[in-house]
Amino acid sequence: VQVQDMATLQAELAQAQQEKSKQEEKIAAYEEQRQQLHWELRKLQGSQEQSKQEVSVSQAFPQGTPRVLSSRAQHWQQLHQDSERALARREEELVVCKVELAFLKEELSKATEQVQDRNRQYHSP
């Protein structure tokens, strides 16, 4: 009776070990699947957060407003650059005008001096 019990126990042990091995494989597969699902969940949460931010922006601005604002910003940036270039040209022109003015003042001073000299000569006895 004991030999049969021992054989039965060994068979049950072998069956239990096989079952344990199958369960460990299932657990490993479930763990791998759990990690994959956890990774996908984090990815979805990130996408959801981004979507929430996009919804907040789109609710804060009417439809198409970000593009309109971007277009307006580019337009104003272009105008600013054009104004900067125009201002630089005007400053160069101003420098030229100041040089010309200084030259003309010098010429006027010389002409005035010549007229005064002639007047002195004309009025002197």
Q: What is the residue-wise DSSP string for 72-88?
A: HHHHHHHHHHHHHHHHH
Task: Give residue-wise pLDDT tens across range 27-62.
Answer: 988 888 888 888 888 888 888 888 777 767 666 666
Task: Name the nearest CA neighbour of 99 among 88, 110, 87, 107.
Answer: 107
DSSP H helices, the chain, are 2-60, 65-123
The pLDDT mean for the chain works out to: 85
Residue 125 lies in a domain: no
Structural domain span for residue 45: 1-60
The pLDDT value recorded for residue 29 is: 87
Task: Give residue-wise pLDDT tens across range 73-92.
Answer: 888 888 888 888 898 889 99
Residue 86 lies in a domain: no
Residue 19 lies in a domain: yes
Q: Determine if residue 61 is left, alpha or beta; phi over 0 gives left, psi from -120 to 50 gives alpha, anything else beta.
A: beta
Residue 107 has pLDDT above 90, yes or no: yes
Residue 77 lies in a domain: no
Residue 107 lies in a domain: no
Residue 40 lies in a domain: yes
0.85 cut: is pTM over it? no
Residue 71 lies in a domain: no
Domain total in the chain: 1
